[in-house]
Every structure is written in C-alpha cells, then in structure tokens.
Amino acid sequence: MQTTSRQFLLVFLTALLLFFPNTNAFAANENLFAHQNTTIPEKQNVENIIVMGGDVTVYGTVRDAVVIFNGNLTVKKSARIQGIVLVIGGSIHQEPGAQVTDNILSLAFDSATKNSLFIAGIALFGFWLARMAFNLVLLVLPVLTAYVMKQRIEPFARLLYRSPIQLLTVGFIISLSVVALSILLSITIIGIPFVVLMLLLIILIFIVGLAAMSMIVGEWLPGNAGKSAEIKAFTGTGVIIACVNLPFFGSLLLLCLLWISLGMMAMWIREKMDKKKQAL
C-alpha cells in the first residue's frame, strides 16, 4: 500500500510539473521539482526528485525516486538513493561507493534511436493517412455508383436478399480462381497487363457490390424510408466503414464483402445468360 501511494504521488507531482512549465524550482513536503540543473548536497534528504531539461547531481539522500527528462544524472559516492531511478533522454554516471537500492532505468535517445523513432513515426503517419484515404474512397465511390446507376443496381440488391450464403460461396470460389490465374499469368511478362486489367475489373465489381450492400444497410436504418438511393448508400456505407475499421473483424468483413460482390456479379451474369437462352 505504501509503495502504491508513493507511485501515485510521484505520477501526480510529475503531471503537476508538466502543467506549470514556467516554475523553475520549488520544494514541498521534501519533494524537489525543477526545470534547471539541480544539486542535492551531501547532508540534504529529499523524498522525490523530478527534473525536466536539466542535469542532476546527487550527494545526499533520496528516499523514494529520481526522475529526469532530457538530462543527465550523476550519483556521487556519498549519495544514497533508496527508490527507483528513471532517466529519459540522458545518461547515468554512478561513482563507486554510491548506494542505489532499487531499479535503474535509462532511455538514452542516441542518433540510432532517434532515427528509428522518426522512421516509426513516419510509418505510423503514413499508415494512418493511407487508412483515411481508403475510408474516403470507400465512402465516396459507392455513393456515386448508387447515384449514377440508381434503378440498375436494384437487381444486385435482390440477389443479396435472395441468397447471401450462395453469393458468398460463389465469390469465394471465384477469388481462388482469380488468385490461381493471376499467379499463372504473372510468370510471363505478356500476362502481367492481363493481371492488372483483371484486378481493375475486380475493384469495379467490388464498388458496384458495395453500393448495393450499402443501399440495403441504409434501408434498414431508421428514418431512411422513402429516401433516395444515394442517401441510403451514404448512410449504409458509413455503417460498413465503421465495421470495417474494427480490429481483425474489419479485415474479415472486408474480405466477405469482396466475395459477396464477386458472387453478385457472377449470379447476375448467369441470370442474363439464362434469359437470353429462354428468349431464343
């Protein structure tokens, strides 16, 4: 209980230091805070030391913790630190004879570490930007498709109402066939353009299928009865995008939407061909 209370006090005081950046140094209840170089004399006893942007030299006794941000720590041989030592963005120098009875943690941001953090930050920002662009495309294209096609997209919606499991199964089989065919075509240079065209066709099919599914989801939402196709597609796409962005489940849902779209197009083409045969 005592250790937990000390840790809570340490976090609170650190936050207090961050919220009052213009305060150079003050002491209360034997806790020392500073934004400058700090020295603890040999006969001085303090509870905690928290310093940001300055070096710390300890000759005396620290009963709980030493926390330093962007600064170095020097522990002299007469020093005694009974708690944890945490130095972020600096180094630690401990003279022989100095007593540190708890853990010592140091995170020194050298050039390699800074470069790694910078690259990781750029990668995360790039991933976030790509995700935002994907969501925007996923929102705009189905709505435009529903607006342009309007009544012509209803046959796809009827297929989904009639046999969603069948569409999913057919789409899954088609996707396996497309992957196998793409691998075979990619072996030769001549086949690569056909692979690109096939991928573009699949994207187009996915957009049409997503527009149909968005309209159906939009119809299920309250207040959308009697609304235009693009309004239904817009609200439905918003729900789909929210679900697609869920961890793990979203990726699986996106894959299922692709399979259903492929199944829609395949079943629609089959119905068209059957009608032509009957007409003949």
Predicted TM-score (pTM) above 0.75: no
Query: What is the distance between the alpha carbons of residues 84 and 103, in angstroms, rounded to a whole number?
Result: 5
Q: Do residues 166 and 279 touch, judged by C-beta distance below 8 A?
A: no
Q: What is the mean pLDDT of residues 112-119?
A: 67
Query: What is the distance between the alpha carbons of residues 93 and 83, in angstroms, rounded to a whole number?
Result: 17
Looking at residue 13, its amino acid is L
Q: Which region, left, alpha or beta, applies to residue 17 given φ > 0 means left and ψ of -120 to 50 means alpha?
A: alpha
CA count, 13 A, side-chain hemisphere, 267: 25
Residue 176: per-residue pLDDT: 92
Q: How many CB atoms lie within 10 A of CB 203?
A: 13
Q: Which pLDDT tens digit goes with each residue over 50-87?
A: 888 889 999 999 988 888 888 889 999 899 998 888 88
Residue 111: per-residue pLDDT: 62
Q: Which pLDDT tens digit goes with each residue over 90-107?
A: 888 888 888 888 788 777
Query: What is the distance between the alpha carbons of residues 232 and 230, in angstroms, rounded to a whole number?
Result: 5
Residue 119: per-residue pLDDT: 76
Q: What is the mean pLDDT of residues 237-245?
A: 88
Residue 178: burial class (beta carbons within 10 Å; 0-12, 13-18, 19+): middle
